Structure 1
Amino acid sequence: MSTNITFHAGSVDNTERVELLSQKGVTVWLTGLSASGKSTIACALEQHLLHMHKFTYRLDGDNVRFGLNKDLGFDEKSRNENIRRIGEVSKLFTDSSCITLTAFISPYKADRAIAREIHEKAGLGFVEVFVDAPIEVVEQRDPKGLYKKARAGEIKEFTGVSAPYEAPESPEIHIRTDKSDVTESVRIITEYLTQNKYI
């Protein structure tokens, strides 16, 4: 940990950004098992918000694991660090008045709690969305064949099979993707953001 650093506050604060951009930043944190529908919903939501002329950006494994977090593996310690970094990056985006969408399994309650805490300490919005589907449903979907490989022992520590997933106990939004399609899921999240004056 660096000790010879000093935080440099800029001349533009969050209040000024919100006023000038007419938008309040928030992180929408989608969590759930692999193949539950997180990334699909996040992609559709990003498109929807952009068409509403909202400043938004999506963070997921495809644009983070190949860059910022390419040095991390999938053991528990690496997963913890992956989510810690995502929490910090999403906080920065949200501080810029961006509607920041994150789509990560983020299996541990403690890691998600830390992400929430760093937002709340900075006075920034954080909305946890539990993208929920029964294990038998996600295994049937299995678009990347990961569950099949995990069941065959080819993937170690795979969430939902050989590694735990700690479901949120009180998320702001709970979506059952075995009952709601993508359009309905986007509508539910958009309605929440509207009601809470983020959009």
Structure 2
Amino acid sequence: RLDGDNVRFGLNKDLGFSERDRNENIRRIAEVAKLFADSATVAITSFISPYRADRQTARELHAATAKNDDDALEFVEVYVDIPLEVAEQRDPKGLYKKARAGEIKDFTGISAPYEAPLNPEITIRTHEKSVEECVAQIVQYLQEKGLVKTSS
């Protein structure tokens, strides 16, 4: 699993939160995820990716290695769709509070934009369903697409 906080403290520690740095953050993550996929390893990434163009670039990077459509590396976009007020209530680090107080610049959803996906493969709403139900929704999709085996 590639997690935003972990990558920010390692591979991307030289990046800030400007639009340009966020673009580069997602580009690097997409490259690493592609390396995993190239080695037949499923990469699960967990990042705030506020710009549609960056998500499209990640998708295209995976598809670019294909000789034909059947060889394309599978890219599954999971959109965690929750109202901003719910995200603020769940904020364990207090970042939304700091952003609202002006202590953090370029904060997604507060002082920087978030462009919701137009056609994600999966949309989960964790404010309407339990974590277990959301996981089941994702697993079902992956099973239906033949990306993970069904249990016997």
TM-score normalized by structure 2? 0.91
Specify the alignment match of 1:151 in structure 2: 100
Amino acid at match of 1:90: A
Secondary structure of the 1:106 match is coil
Please give the residue correspondences for 1:10-89 in structure 2 after superposition, counting only pairs within 5 Å.
58-89=1-32
Distance in 2 (CA, whole Å) between partners of 1:151 and 1:175 is 26
Task: Give 1 or 2 for the bigger CA radius of gyration.
Answer: 1
User: Does 2:64 correspond to 1:101?
Assistant: no
TM-score normalized by structure 1? 0.70
Residue 62 of structure 1: how far off its partner (Å): 2.7
Amino acid at match of 1:143: P
Specify the alignment match of 1:112 in structure 2: 55
Residue 115 of structure 1: how far off its partner (Å): 0.1
Specify the alignment match of 1:131 in structure 2: 80
Distance in 1 (CA, whole Å) between partners of 2:43 and 2:94 is 29
Structure 1: 5+ residue runs without aligned partners?
A: 1-57
Specify the alignment match of 2:140 in structure 1: 191
Distance in 2 (CA, whole Å) between partners of 1:63 and 1:163 is 22
Distance in 1 (CA, whole Å) between partners of 2:87 and 2:64 is 35
Specify the alignment match of 2:68 in structure 1: none
**Superposed CA offset, 1:120-144 (max 9, x none):** 1222000000001001111112111
Structure 2: 5+ residue runs without aligned partners?
A: 66-71
User: Does 2:125 correspond to 1:176?
Assistant: yes
Percent same amino acid at aligned positions?
A: 68
Amino acid at match of 1:178: H
Aligned length: 142
Distance in 2 (CA, whole Å) between partners of 1:74 and 1:146 is 13
Q: Report if the CA contact (8 A) 2:2-2:44 is conserved.
A: yes
Distance in 2 (CA, whole Å) between partners of 1:186 and 1:99 is 16
User: Does 2:40 correspond to 1:91?
Assistant: no
Distance in 2 (CA, whole Å) between partners of 1:104 and 1:61 is 5
Residue 68 of structure 1: how far off its partner (Å): 0.8
Comparing both structures, which one devotes a greater share of its residues to strand?
1
Distance in 2 (CA, whole Å) between partners of 1:142 and 1:152 is 15
Residue 97 of structure 1: how far off its partner (Å): 0.9
Distance in 2 (CA, whole Å) between partners of 1:66 and 1:143 is 18
